[in-house]
Amino acid sequence: MRGAALHFARRIPEPSRYDGIITTDLMSLSDLRALWGSATPPALVYFHENQLSYPLPPGETIDYQFAFTDITTGLAAKRILFNSRAHNDSFFRELERFLKIFPDYRPTWVVKTMRERTDVIYPGCDFPGEAPTLAAPDRSIPPLIIWNHRWEFDKQPALFFRALETVLGRGRDFRLALLGENFQFVPQEFLAARDRFGDRIVHYGYVKERNDYLDWLRRGSIVISTALQENFGISVVEAIRHGSVPLLPGRLSYPELLEERFHSVCLYRDPAELAEKLNEFLISPEKLEVHRNALSSSMGKFSWDRLIDAWDRELDGLVDSRSFLV
């Protein structure tokens, strides 16, 4: 966030050759426009996360400069898009709180100005709009539980593994595929899980080839999220699309992803209810099969096939506003 504008100002010395800019919130658009000067084309910024509502690791405190970058980036953009309604709402809720800490000259106008440029468009997911044909589950082997999230603190892996411990203690059997990226070091929770769950773990670690990753999703029975932060949830959408029934927190973006008819089955309120619902699924795997096809079909609205028209309209609007100046 601090250095990207410097990189692109040098990397793209003639910005006037372009009809528009698409960037994320992880770059200071205001810095880039200042460095480029009057030659800057209109910009669309996509907020896939933000620095006001993003949870901090234990022991860290907020760096207000990152929050300011989100604000000035939004003000420097022609158009602001969020990846979910839940994310949009949480950002503006935290923005109003943030502005109240100013001792004086509070720029409360920022909220209205940014809202006027803002809309929500989901990210396109890389699968066809037409629903896939799901293979019948193999009842001769235990259900496969999928974890396909980053191995980071904000996904709360300790809570996930505690739920598995609970159902294991009740005599339930399952297999476990621990997918997802790890960028720095393997968290202690995953090292301990490797010892604790042993042969139940059928895969451990990041899958580099996408086809291999999708093959694991097709084998899945249940996908679980225990996330503290999730502004959309592509990994969950992909797992559901390929046949896993989700167990998700009843907050963040998850109620928005699922049609309301699935909420009572797939959303949980607290760790105790997560363990209880997981236990019920493992006792009666047929309960999973009742919902698999309908859930998979409902994810079609997130495919690129269904979303590309909305994105094309945004890009057309950006090009049409070539002479826009903030």
**Are both 298 and 309 inside the same structural domain?**
no
Residue 8: inside a domain, yes or no?
Answer: yes
Residue 70: inside a domain, yes or no?
Answer: yes
**Are both 187 and 292 inside the same structural domain?**
yes
**Are both 68 and 180 inside the same structural domain?**
no
- pLDDT reported for residue 97: 95
**Are both 214 and 261 inside the same structural domain?**
yes
**Are both 28 and 57 inside the same structural domain?**
yes
Residue 182: inside a domain, yes or no?
Answer: yes
Residue 287: inside a domain, yes or no?
Answer: yes
**Are both 157 and 297 inside the same structural domain?**
yes
Residue 97: inside a domain, yes or no?
Answer: yes
**Are both 28 and 171 inside the same structural domain?**
no
Q: Which amino acid is at 108?
A: T
Long-range contacts of 285-293 (CB under 8 A, 24+ apart): 285/137, 285/139, 285/143, 285/221, 288/137, 288/143, 288/221, 288/222, 288/245, 289/137, 291/245, 291/262, 291/265, 291/266, 292/134, 292/243, 292/244, 292/245, 293/131, 293/134
Q: Are strands 43-47 and 79-82 parallel, antiparallel or unpaired?
A: parallel
Residue 325: inside a domain, yes or no?
Answer: no
**Are both 249 and 295 inside the same structural domain?**
yes
* CATH number of the domain bearing residue 199: 3.40.50.2000
**Are both 158 and 258 inside the same structural domain?**
yes
Residue 234: inside a domain, yes or no?
Answer: yes
- pLDDT reported for residue 286: 84
**Are both 168 and 291 inside the same structural domain?**
yes
Residues of the chain with pLDDT below 50 are: 324-326
Q: Which two tokens stand for residue 212?
A: 């291999």
DSSP 54-113: SPPPTT----HHHHHHHHHHHHT-SEEEES-HHHHHHHHHHHHHHHTT-SSS--THHHHH
Split into its structural domains, the chain has a count of 2
Indicate the pTM of the whole model: 0.94
- Give the domain extent around 75: 4-124+305-320
Strand order from edge to edge, sheet including 245-249: 201-204, 175-178, 144-147, 222-224, 245-249, 267-268
What CA–CA distance (Å, rounded) separates 199 from 205?
15
- pLDDT reported for residue 323: 53
**Are both 111 and 190 inside the same structural domain?**
no
Residue 130: inside a domain, yes or no?
Answer: no
**Are both 296 and 314 inside the same structural domain?**
no
